[in-house]
Chain A
Amino acid sequence: MEYSESFRVGIRSIMAHKMRSLLTTLGVIFGVAAVIAMLSIGEGAKREALEQIRLLGTNNIRINAVKLTGDKAREAESKYSDGLSYKDGLLIRENIPSVRAVTPIRFIDAPVMKGNKEAAARIIGTDYLYPEVTSFRVEEGRFITPLDVSEAKRICVIGAKVKRELFGYRSPIGHRIRIGEEWFRVVGVMENKKLREGKASIIKIRDINRDIYIPITTALKRFRDEEKPLFVNEIAVQVKSAELVEPTARIIRRLLKRTHRDVQDYEIVIPAELLAQSRRTQRVFNIVMGSIAAISLLVGGIGIMNIMLASVTERTKEIGIRRALGATEQDILGQFLNETVLISATGGIIGIVLGVVMAKAINIFAGWETVIALYSVAVSFGISAMVGIIFGIYPARKAAQMDPIAALRFE
């Protein structure tokens, strides 16, 4: 029998029992949906990690200040460690030859005004190496210079969105804006960096287009923290080459351990490792979802097999008639196997749609990034077809091996 004919017979038989076929495929539907959702979350997390790596730089190492509480805070106080400081950055720059550049980052919490317009911005104290380390360029004007740093000038470089908010389409160069109680002259505007909206990240991606950069020295002096005068929130380190990232991180760890007297008031983040880290977090999730998918598919497959066995018995007479009219065992086998695969593949398609909806819902309600990759659709469809073949072969063989005469006599 030709395949197209077998296909038509299969479709008919499924359509004759719509409700039964749908119920039969529920297991496959949920199994496939779970696979799709799982893969989409995995893919989303991977893309997000890649996005962070892109933003932080592959050859980079980040050192973040960690706020200590309770016992640990008291311990830090007794050991006279006053957190991550500007000096740490200078130390790294001077003592580690594999380091190409180091730039400090200090966040300042202050309102940004121009006239009576206020901008939603984040003020960052840094130095002239920042653009090089972060590969984030100036679009108009210039960035902070070594002279700005050494003289602690009151100048600033603003992000593209800040510029648009405060100046519209006019050039802001030379104009003054107020940060906290101080007036700053705008000397440059950063390029507009396209960002994907990341929601579930190990490090929150902030919208760097809303940054305002001022010299680190100005930040430390004008927005002075009396308790920790040299405190910085982050230090960005750029290493000479990718292979040197690991060994350099080790050296930094040792160096900081000594200068901080064993107090863990900082953490070292290697962007390249974020991917592995996000994979590790994913693994537990994958095991859970994978088990759900496997159990659903198994139960679904057994359900399909059951229904097909019932269908074979129900259609014994038809099998006898077809055999008498010239159907081979192979024809009968093909007919039933094809029908099973059709049922499970239809379940697979419904499952894929459900999985896509689930992924979207997870994205909206749980805030996790989800991405439906084409390969995951193909894999899921393949799995559903496989379930049909695996669980269809037994009923189909049973049908094919029936004695035609006994089948004809069946009422």
Chain B
Amino acid sequence: MLIEAIDLHRVYRMGENEVHALRGVTFGIERGEFVSIIGPSGSGKSTLMHIMGCLDRPTSGSYILDGTPIEGLDDRRLSRLRNRKVGFVFQSFNLIQQLNVVENVEVPLVYMEMDRHERRERALQMLEAVGLGHRSQHRPNELSGGENQRVAIARALVTDPDLILADEPTGNLDTKTGHEIMELLKRLHEQGKTLIMVTHDLEKAKWSSRFIHMKDGKILHDFRDTDGTDIVGMFYESTMEQETQ
């Protein structure tokens, strides 16, 4: 199992107030799965993604990534784990504006302490793979949204991580570009990457093989598309179920 999460809680403390973003989440993800997470705003999807990406720690519960429990890891080890095992793709791309495209793709390799020439070579390879080899010297603001997201995907892939975490990767894109990005992600899945994607769009969720429905910091349903199940239908069923309760 690539990911094991057992009874995860995450509480944000803001002065007197406490916000429970996660209230006991337990699940496991196998290598090679393509999971989409869906749920209303504030249901804790991003919080869960951050914990899965080792960018945040649960307040309680245990999280194990590729056999390594993150509990008790210091900043250096956790950062190393994040650097080697995880690639993030964000809704707003999150490229560094001062760097050009290829330098952006190189950043994770810098923290891997890879040699400069090797780094450049790998980054260019990745850009080729997402179809942006010819744009390597451009600044992010000279590229379209779809191109920006491809650069971000190249950056997420450059360390050859086991896990790709995409938080609403098509949220800032139009339908057509969104579709292109989905195809790119699908291809990664087919190449054997484990992919976890947060989305608000049920049409996008259909691309995945598993479907986690979250609400109020909990997992409401967890469907597996083993034999062409209609996951959208199941989603509606589950929301209806919620409302009648």
Q: Is B truly associated with A?
A: yes
Interface residues of A (CB under 8 A from B): 1-2, 5, 12-13, 16, 317-318, 320-331, 404-405, 408
Chain B's closest residue to A330 (CB) is: B76
A324 contacts B80, C-beta separation under 8 Å: no
A16 contacts B83, C-beta separation under 8 Å: no
Which of A1, A318, A321, A405 has a CB less than 8 Å from the CB of B110? A1
B90 contacts A325, C-beta separation under 8 Å: no
B94 contacts A327, C-beta separation under 8 Å: no
A405 contacts B88, C-beta separation under 8 Å: no
Docked Cα-Cα span, A408 to B94, in Å, equals: 8
1/0 per residue, CB under 8 A from A, across B74-117: the answer is 01100110111000101000111010000000011011110010
Q: 3 closest Cβ contacts across the A-B interface?
A: A326-B83, A326-B111, A328-B79
B50 interface residue per 8 A CB criterion: yes
Q: How many residues of B contact A (CB 8 A)?
A: 26
Residues on B with C-beta less than 8 A from A330 are 75-76
B98 contacts A327, C-beta separation under 8 Å: no
B94 contacts A326, C-beta separation under 8 Å: no
B110 contacts A5, C-beta separation under 8 Å: yes
Instruction: Tell me, rounded to whole Å, the shortest Cβ–Cβ distance linking A334 to chain B.
Output: 11
Which B98-145 residues have C-beta < 8 A from chain A? 98, 107-108, 110-113, 116
Which of A1, A16, A323, A329 has a CB less than 8 Å from the CB of B55? A323
B98 contacts A12, C-beta separation under 8 Å: yes
Docked Cα-Cα span, A329 to B56, in Å, equals: 14
B76 contacts A326, C-beta separation under 8 Å: no
B58 interface residue per 8 A CB criterion: no
Residues on B with C-beta less than 8 A from A327 are 79, 111
Instruction: Tell me, rounded to whole Å, the shortest Cβ–Cβ distance linking A65 to chain B.
Output: 75
Which of A322, A329, A404 has a CB less than 8 Å from the CB of B107? A322
With A328-B75, A328-B79, A404-B55 known as contacts, the answer to whether A321 contacts B111 (CB < 8 A) is no
Chain A's closest residue to B158 (CB) is: A325
26 A–B contacts, CB within 8 A, in A order: A1-B110, A2-B110, A5-B116, A12-B98, A13-B98, A317-B94, A320-B94, A321-B96, A321-B107, A323-B79, A324-B88, A325-B82, A325-B88, A326-B80, A326-B82, A326-B84, A326-B111, A326-B112, A328-B75, A329-B75, A329-B79, A404-B55, A405-B55, A405-B56, A408-B90, A408-B94
B45 interface residue per 8 A CB criterion: no
A324 contacts B94, C-beta separation under 8 Å: yes
1/0 per residue, CB under 8 A from A, across B165-191: the answer is 000000000000000000000000000
Residues on B with C-beta less than 8 A from A326 are 79-80, 82-84, 108, 111-112, 159
Instruction: Tell me, rounded to whole Å, the shortest Cβ–Cβ distance linking A34 to chain B.
Output: 35
Residues on A with C-beta less than 8 A from B79 are 323, 326-329, 331
Instruction: Other than A324-B82, A326-B84, A329-B75, give 4 A-B pairs with Cβ distance below 8 A.
Output: A16-B98, A326-B82, A326-B83, A326-B111
B155 interface residue per 8 A CB criterion: yes
Chain A's closest residue to B99 (CB) is: A12
Q: Tally of A-B residue pairs with Cβ under 8 A?
A: 64
Residues on A with C-beta less than 8 A from B39 are none
With A330-B76, A408-B90 known as contacts, the answer to whether A324 contacts B113 (CB < 8 A) is no
Instruction: Tell me, rounded to whole Å, the shortest Cβ–Cβ distance linking A321 to chain B.
Output: 5
Residues on A with C-beta less than 8 A from B80 are 326, 328
Which of A16, A320, A325, A404 has a CB less than 8 Å from the CB of B108? A325
Instruction: Tell me, rounded to whole Å, the shortest Cβ–Cβ distance linking B156 to chain A.
Output: 9
B44 interface residue per 8 A CB criterion: no
Q: Give the most central of A13, A16, A328, A331: most B CB within 10 Å.
A: A328
Residues on A with C-beta less than 8 A from B53 are 324
Residues on B with C-beta less than 8 A from A2 are 110, 113
Docked Cα-Cα span, A348 to B90, in Å, equals: 42
Residues on B with C-beta less than 8 A from A328 are 75-76, 79-80, 111
Residues on A with C-beta less than 8 A from B98 are 12-13, 16, 318
Residues on B with C-beta less than 8 A from A16 are 98
Residues on B with C-beta less than 8 A from A325 are 82-83, 88, 107-108, 111, 155
Instruction: Tell me, rounded to whole Å, the shortest Cβ–Cβ distance linking A278 to chain B.
Output: 54
Chain A's closest residue to B94 (CB) is: A321
With A323-B79, A405-B50 known as contacts, the answer to whether A318 contacts B96 (CB < 8 A) is yes
Instruction: Tell me, rounded to whole Å, the shortest Cβ–Cβ distance linking B242 to chain A.
Output: 28
Docked Cα-Cα span, A2 to B111, in Å, equals: 8
Residues on B with C-beta less than 8 A from A5 are 110, 116
Docked Cα-Cα span, A296 to B167, in Å, equals: 50
B111 contacts A324, C-beta separation under 8 Å: no
Instruction: Tell me, rounded to whole Å, the shortest Cβ–Cβ distance linking A400 to chain B.
Output: 9
